[in-house]
Amino acid sequence: MHTTESLRDIPPALQSKSLHLLTENTPNGKKVQILLEELRIANQITWETHLIDLESEEQKKDWFLALNPNGRIPLLYDNTPDLPICVMESSAILIYLHENFDKDKIFGFDTADERSQAFQWLFFWHAAAPIQGQTRHFSDRLGESFLYVNTRLRNEMLRIYSVLDDHLSGKHRYSITRDYIAGAGVGKYSIADIGTWPHVRAWRSLGFSHDDMLAYPHLLEWISRVADRPGVQIGISDKYDSEENPSLIVRGI
């Protein structure tokens, strides 16, 4: 929480007693956007969207750093309590939204075992995401000096895909092919899927071919299954693109 004094430079757009999302249409932003849209469809939530101009590094300015010292999006600013609550890190935001706004546990679970499953897989991908980011960063770097780096990162990403594919296939547990990552039986669509899908769907951006991905058929089926959801389609749409919606861009005072 932050005191009124520490938030004196907050933009006027964030001062209404509402739930505020500060985002841009990146994979990390998309996972929170998706959950919010899914909750909206389920009549569980309303919020205000504010887009951050990453090219001008608005997220590195003092007003933003007062809300998120890491200077990254997405950021959830809950101004409904007496003292506002700032939540940084996309996985932490998913948990916050689920625990505080998903009253019917539509995207979570009742049992401790299933909740633990969802958190385990959510954190599995949260730990893996930087590998994907580095793979993308180095994928277009050529030359012998980058050969080892590229090979190492690509192999690690393929290993991560294989972990997800084996899990979905039921290869190591119960021999039940799963529809979703967490939950009993075939699983249930949850924050574990929402927190993973926006990154994994982007395998082409890492330089992998369709032939590369044929080794992970269950993962590809899961990517398609999640992509068919209306909340997902809205959550990754141009609605959250600052270039398409300049009126939603928020800047410091």
Q: Where are the domains of the chain?
A: 5-104+234-248, 112-188+190-228
Dump pLDDT digits (tens) for 12-38: 999 999 999 999 999 999 999 999 999
Tokens 């385990």 label which residue?
120
Judging by DSSP bridges, how do beta strands 19-23 and 48-51 pair with one another?
parallel
Judging by DSSP bridges, how do beta strands 75-78 and 19-23 pair with one another?
antiparallel
Which CATH architecture is the domain 5-104+234-248 placed in?
3-Layer(aba) Sandwich (3.40)
User: Three-class SS of residue 230?
Assistant: helix
Dump pLDDT digits (tens) for 193-223: 999 999 999 999 888 999 999 999 999 999 9
Question: pLDDT by residue for the chain (253 residues), tens digit each?
Answer: 444 445 667 899 999 999 999 999 999 999 999 999 999 999 989 999 999 999 999 999 999 999 999 999 999 999 999 999 999 999 999 999 999 999 999 999 999 999 999 999 999 988 887 677 667 666 666 555 577 777 888 889 899 999 999 999 998 877 899 999 999 999 999 999 999 999 999 999 888 999 999 999 999 999 999 999 999 999 999 999 999 999 999 998 7
Reference 82, options 9, 171, 17; nearest CA is: 17
User: Three-class SS of residue 31?
Assistant: helix
What topology is assigned to 112-188+190-228 in CATH? Glutathione S-transferase Yfyf (Class Pi); Chain A, domain 2 (1.20.1050)
Please tell me the predicted confidence (pLDDT) of residue 138: 65
C-alpha distance from residue 61 to each of 159, 248, 253 (Å): 37, 18, 10
Please list, residue by residue across 228-240, b when 16 or more beta carbons sit within 10 angstroms of its beta carbon and e when fewer do: ebebbebbbeeeb
* Alpha-helix runs per DSSP H in the chain: 27-41, 62-65, 90-101, 112-139, 144-169, 191-200, 210-213, 217-227, 230-235
Please tell me the predicted confidence (pLDDT) of residue 2: 46
